[in-house]
Amino acid sequence: MEMQTEKAVEDITQIAKHYVTVDTKEKVEELIEVIQGADVIAYDTETTSLNMRTGKIIGFSVSTRAGNGYYLPSLVWNTKEEKLDRLTIGGVDTFDISKKVLQLLIGKKLICHNGSFDMRYTTNFFGVDLLSSLWVDTALLVHTVQEEGAGMGVFGLKALAISVQEEIGLDVSKAANEEQLVLKESIKRNGGGTSRTNFEMFKADLDILSKYAAADTDLTYRLCFHFLKVLEAEGLSDFFFKEEVMPIYREVTIPMEIAGVSLDMELLTATHLRIKKDLAENKDIVLKSLLATSEAKQWVLDTALREYPVNNKGTWAQTLVARYSLPLPRSEKSGKYSLTAKNIEELEDSVQKQFLLTGDKTLIDEVESARISMSLWKEKNDGDYINIQSKSHVGEIVFKYMGIKAMSQTKKGQDQFDMGMLEFLSKDYPWAENLRVYNKLLKIKSTYIDRFLDKAENGVYYAYFKQHGTVSGRYSSDLQQLPKPKEEGEDAPIIVEYINLVRAFLIAGKGRKFIDADYESLEPHVLASITEDQNLRDIFNNGWDFYSTIAIKTEKLEDDKRNYPNGVSPDKKSPVFLKKLNVLARNTAKAYALGIPYGMGAFALGKSLNIPQKEAKKLVDGYLNGFPQLQEWMENSREQVKAHGYIKTKVGRIRHLPKAKKIYDKFGEKILDWKFRKNLEGQYGKAQVMQVYRDYKNSLNNCLNVQLQGYSASIVNRAALQINRKATKMGIDAVVIAQIHDQIVVSIEEGRAEEFAPIVSHIMETTTELPGVTLKAPPEIADNMQEGH
């Protein structure tokens, strides 16, 4: 294995390409010989769709060294008959040849880019399971050593290859553009689509598609070995191969994407019908209550007359003719009335006739004019006088007609009507509260109910879980959007009802249960452990309330005898528990309890709490004085990133922040002084100086939050890995099917749930031990995610 790897590294800069379309018996034999002689192989599939459960694999490519690539087609587009045809080589179907060749990949070290896609497709289409052979996913490899990919979180194969094209010995930018042009021309020539939403690659000519596919595996191979050198240089090989990234990808991430989550389709369908009815009723209430105001009525009238002014031509005149049933001839094609002077002259004398001839607006009664203009305006807005979803419509009524001052402006300096403004208005205006509720109902419907219904496949929702979706290593997933349950009184009753119903859509299914375990205050626990602050550790070791303790320490409430003559305590069982005495102080602490450790300063905190910056600074200083080891940890972390340009989590994940070191080396801490920055503007320009300042501040803050978020992510990920391994070892039909923030959901056979639940909890609490504190992850056994956490 080591010799193969070393040779691959040496070959990485070779530019000679040997791309082969495997379409003869001799080439099949050559492909088999190449595979058998290789240990490490890049693998990629070409498919008819992005849905690996319903699509087809038209072929796959492999590369066993830099510069070579083989493409074996299983289906080819028949242009004349407009269908995919099976192929034969030497009288043998290439589908069967493919299965036999793919079997040879088992036990090899496979490299893929987005391996979850290729592994699942291969299993579903060919019935060959290559998952255990997946060695490296290049997107995850790059994310481990260069967490922002090719920039701005881009991890596409071509973009990554272009970013290191000199190092891998290819002019990828030029080649990729040429390949795309040739490929698209071929697809179009064969009647296929080339849009972003309908890219029918399978309709390309075989020779062109083959070259394109082989080039991709060649790129994947070269990328892998380039970044493996970086991985080794940064001391991350064990983290990637043994401890976290690839084991979790193979044993947790891909199995979660394979399993999906069952849906209660009956409940979903019924809820869909009910929320549509509630939306219609709520919309009617909003419109009626808004139109009951004189300001809204005037806006409708003014807008209708502006958009559809009185006119003896066009739509307005057509409506007038129809309204009075004037006997004018109509076009058979368009159905419009013929408004020629000759036709109008033949009409009986009337006010309408004279108006159509002369265009004299004084001939039409003002009320009648308004009725016609308003009817046209209403028709344009799908039957409503006001589009309550239009911020422009409602904003004009509020700001220009009601004379209410805006709370904020857009970048262009215009009054901004947003959710904050609506919530402000909802305190005094019933229509605004109804509109707020309507907007939330609409979001619940589109974000959850419609999405689940539209994407359900045989009653199962297949979520995605991206390990490289965040710089911290936390999953990016569409299930992360699930709303937190609300208690009665936290919002309008109808909103609370629907929000709390969403998780009930996700069910364990017949004969199964969920074990649902959520870490209690994971990031605060991590904060207490890694800062080694005893005051923070005491919170969890004594079972105190986190936010109450933060508030008491920050604001020195224990010394405030005037407001707390009997003292104040963070102990939930104490008669002087802060939450009982001063809910506001505790809730205020939520705004900065993690914000300040993440680097929030007085300016940002002041904006968040809407208090003067001086008061906010007192809170920041009080917090850091109350937890001295926290302050020391923050200072040490910032010194490290300024000196080295990176920071590590406790388990070794690296966050690269090179701008911190670069800026510090050039300007030092003076870049934080506004007077110093002002002097720099003459040399560099105001915009550039401000950007440097922001980059520096962001880097100093990111070096703090990534240690908390990155370590927390590793704790959850590693626990999920051990849960799956334990289930396999015990012979239990159980698998982690979802990770949602700090929550792990296990699907398990019903009869073993009680037995396995405490084991899940134990694994979560002990897989990663935090010095100074004890993790807690109580499990719930449930039929759906609503019953869990």
Tokens representing 482 are 């699930």
Residue 398 has phi, psi (to 5 degrees) of -70, -50
* Residues 45 and 167 both lie in one domain: yes
Answer for the pair 356, 257: CB distance below 8 angstroms, yes or no: no
Q: pLDDT at position 10, please? A: 43
- 13 domain residue, yes or no: yes
As for how many domains the chain has, the answer is 3
* Residues 9 and 89 both lie in one domain: yes
Confidence category of residue 789, pLDDT binned at 50, 70, 90? confident
CATH of residue 649: 1.10.150.20
* Residues 61 and 113 both lie in one domain: yes
Confidence category of residue 2, pLDDT binned at 50, 70, 90? very low
- 683 domain residue, yes or no: yes
Instruction: Give the model confidence (pLDDT) of 711-757 as tens digits.
Output: 999 999 999 999 999 999 999 999 999 999 999 999 999 999 999 99
Instruction: Give the model confidence (pLDDT) of 52-108 as tens digits.
Output: 999 999 999 999 999 999 999 999 999 999 999 999 999 999 999 999 999 999 999
CATH of residue 89: 3.30.420.10
Tokens representing 220 are 């994947």
* Residues 95 and 144 both lie in one domain: yes
Domain boundary among 436, 452, 477: 436
> Closest by alpha carbon to 602, among 588, 585, 621, 584?
621
Q: pLDDT at position 489, please? A: 81
H/E stretch holding 747: strand 743-749
Instruction: Give the model confidence (pLDDT) of 297-312 as tens digits.
Output: 999 999 999 999 999 9
* Residues 71 and 112 both lie in one domain: yes
Q: pLDDT at position 487, please? A: 82
What residues does 646 pair with on adjacent strands?
656
Question: Which DSSP letter does residue 121 get?
Answer: H
Tokens 């399971």 -> residue? 129
Tokens representing 664 are 């510090």
- 264 domain residue, yes or no: no
Answer for the pair 97, 212: CB distance below 8 angstroms, yes or no: no
Measure the CA–CA gap between 617 and 658, rounded to whole angstroms. Answer: 29
Domain boundary among 232, 259, 286: 259
* Residues 599 and 654 both lie in one domain: yes
Instruction: Give the model confidence (pLDDT) of 639-679 as tens digits.
Output: 999 999 999 999 999 999 999 999 999 999 999 999 999 99
Share of the chain above pLDDT 90, in %: 88
* Residues 363 and 224 both lie in one domain: no
Q: pLDDT at position 170, please? A: 84
Helix, strand or coil, per DSSP, at residue 518: strand
Cα–Cα separations (whole angstroms), residue 780 to 89, 161, 406 = 56, 46, 47
Domain that residue 425 falls in: 269-436
* Residues 554 and 596 both lie in one domain: yes
* Residues 254 and 289 both lie in one domain: no
What residues does 86 pair with on adjacent strands?
75
Domain boundary among 436, 468, 495: 436
H/E stretch holding 676: helix 674-684
Instruction: Give the model confidence (pLDDT) of 260-306 as tens digits.
Output: 999 999 999 999 999 999 999 999 999 999 999 999 999 999 999 99
Tokens representing 56 are 């087809």
Instruction: Give the model confidence (pLDDT) of 128-164 as tens digits.
Output: 999 999 999 999 999 999 999 988 889 999 999 999 9
Q: pLDDT at position 15, please? A: 56
Write out the DSSP string of 444-499: HIIIIIIHHHHH-BTTEE---EETTSSTTS--EEGGGGPPPP--TTSS-HHHHHHH
Instruction: Give the model confidence (pLDDT) of 427-442 as tens digits.
Output: 999 999 999 999 999 9
* Residues 304 and 252 both lie in one domain: no
> Closest by alpha carbon to 718, among 243, 259, 257?
243
* Residues 411 and 375 both lie in one domain: yes
* Residues 246 and 290 both lie in one domain: no
